[in-house]
Amino acid sequence: MVSDRRLGDKCVFQPFIVQRRQLRTVSAMGNKVFIIALVVALVAISLNNYLKRKGETRYIFHTEWYDPVSATVNKFHLSFFPRDRSVEMYDLRAQRLFLKRIPVEGVEERDLYLGNTIVVLSRQLKITDYADAFTREQITSKRQRTFAMVKPDAVHRLGEIVDVIQSRDFEISQMKMVQLTRLQAATFYREHEGRPFFESLLDYITSGPVVAMELITTNAVKKWRATLGPTDSQEARSIAPESIRALFGKDKQLNAGHGSDSDISAIREIEFFFPSSKINDDLLPQTTAKLANNTCGIIKPHAVSKGHIGSILKAIKEEEFDISALQIFRMDKVQSEEFLEVYKGVVSEYPVSEHCSCVPGSTGGCC
C-alpha cells in the first residue's frame, strides 16, 4: 500500500514540479522582455528630458525597412532632430545603435507622418507608429489629414485648383482621378440619403470623373473648409472671393469641390477612396484610364516636392491635352528599375535614383 501510494505521489507530483519549472522559465523570460522594454522606454524618456533641458527637440518613430536581399523586414527606432535635420537609428531586434546621429539630406520635419516613407542612406524606411507620447502629440497636431474632392464641373480646371491648394501650404499625399458609379456615390454620400436633393446629387457626382485627394497640414479639416468657402458659390463670391468655390464654382450644387466636415468624416472618406486594405471591387472607385490614343506623362519627385504639380497640369492643358487619368504613386527601387529598364544603358538622363528619391509630403518616389 505504501509503495502504491508513493508511486501515486510520483505520478501526480512530478508533472507539478515540471510545470512549476516551466512557469518559472516563462516568467523569467517575460521579466527579461519587460525589463528590456522598460529600460528602452526609460532611456528614451531620460534622453528627451535631457534634450528638452538643452532646448533641443527630438522626435522618435517606429520604422520598417524591407531588405530585398534577405527578404526580411527590419525594425528600427528612428530619432529625428529638427535643429540640424539629423537622424539616429536604433536596431530593435539587435538591441543596439545602428546609425550614430548624422545630418541627412532630403529628410524634413514635414515628411514625418504615419504611413510615409523616407530615404536614409539609400534605405527606404516606412514610418509605422510614434515611439513616444511627445512625438505623437507634437506631430499629430501639425500633421492632420483631411479629404478633398474636385467635382466633375471643375476637373477641367484641376491645375489651377491644385495651384491654390499648394499655395495654401497643403501637402497632397494622395491623389487620383476616378469615375464613381451610382452605388459608390450613394455609399459615399449616405448621410444625405432621404433628403430632397439626394438623387440630383448622385446624378451630378456621377456625370463625369472626380479627383480625390488626401491633404495634410496643421488643422487640415478646418483650413480646407475655409479654403473651399461657402457651399453656395454665388454666396462665396461675396463672402470669400478668394475661395475655391468662388473662383471655380457656379452655384450651390455645381460648387467645384468637397471637403470633410470633421476628423471622423475625413478618416472615412479617405479610406473610401484610398483603402488601407483590400475591399469589394464594386465599392472601390475605378480609374478613368482609357489606354487608347494616349501617352503616359510623369511628374517627377523633385517637381512634386517643389509644389509644381498645379503649374505642370496647367501647362499640359494649355497644350490642348486632355488628362484622362491621374494618380500619385510611390515607387521603390525595384519598381523604378523595372519601369526604366528599356532605357538602361541607353539614355543617361533616366537614373533610377531620381524616381525613388525622398520628396516632402510624398516620399519614396512619388510621381
- Mean per-residue pLDDT, 85-99: 95
Asked if pLDDT for residue 142 goes beyond 50, the answer is yes
Whole-structure pTM value: 0.70
Any known ligand binding at 197?
yes
- 53 by Cβ neighbours in 10 Å (0-12 / 13-18 / 19+) ranks as exposed
The CA R_g of the chain, rounded to the nearest whole Å, is 27
Band of pLDDT at residue 147, cut at 50, 70 and 90: very high
Band of pLDDT at residue 1, cut at 50, 70 and 90: very low
Residues 6+ apart with CB under 8 A from 73: 64, 65, 66, 67
**Residues paired with 287 in a beta bridge:** 178
Look at residues 117, 108, 111 and name the one whose alpha carbon lies nearest to residue 143: 111
Asked if pLDDT for residue 5 goes beyond 50, the answer is no
Instruction: Identify the pLDDT of residue 53.
Output: 45
Residues 6+ apart with CB under 8 A from 334: 68
Q: pLDDT digit string (tens) for 292-305?
A: 888 989 998 889 88
Band of pLDDT at residue 109, cut at 50, 70 and 90: confident
Report the Cα–Cα distance between both ends of the chain, in Å, rounded. Answer: 85
Instruction: Identify the pLDDT of residue 363.
Output: 33
Q: CB count, 10 Å around CB of 176?
A: 20
Dig out the grid coordinates for 68 from the structure.
530585398
Any known ligand binding at 151?
yes
Q: Is the dihedral of CA 155, 157, 162, 168 positive or negative?
A: negative
Look at residues 129, 172, 164, 323 and name the one whose alpha carbon lies nearest to residue 244: 164
- 79 by Cβ neighbours in 10 Å (0-12 / 13-18 / 19+) ranks as buried
Beta strands 144-150; 86-91: pairing state: unpaired
Q: pLDDT digit string (tens) for 42-89?
A: 555 555 555 554 568 999 999 999 888 888 999 999 999 999 999 999
State which of 77-91, 108-122, 334-348 shows the largest mean pLDDT.
77-91
Cβ–Cβ < 8 Å for 256, 245: yes
Look at residues 267, 255, 275, 173 and name the one whose alpha carbon lies nearest to residue 215: 173
What's the mean pLDDT when you consider all of the chain?
82
Instruction: Identify the pLDDT of residue 202.
Output: 95
CA–centroid distance for 289 within its chain: 23
Any known ligand binding at 72?
no
Of 77, 156, 192, 258, catalytic: 258
For residue 124, the number of C-alpha atoms closer than 13 Å in the C-beta half-sphere is 23
Look at 339 and 179; give whichever has higher pLDDT: 179
Between the CA of residue 25 and those of 12, 19, 21, what are the distances in Å? 21, 10, 6
Q: Would you call 355 a catalytic residue per the annotation?
A: no
Any known ligand binding at 255?
yes
Interatomic CA distance for residues 252 and 231, integer angstroms: 6
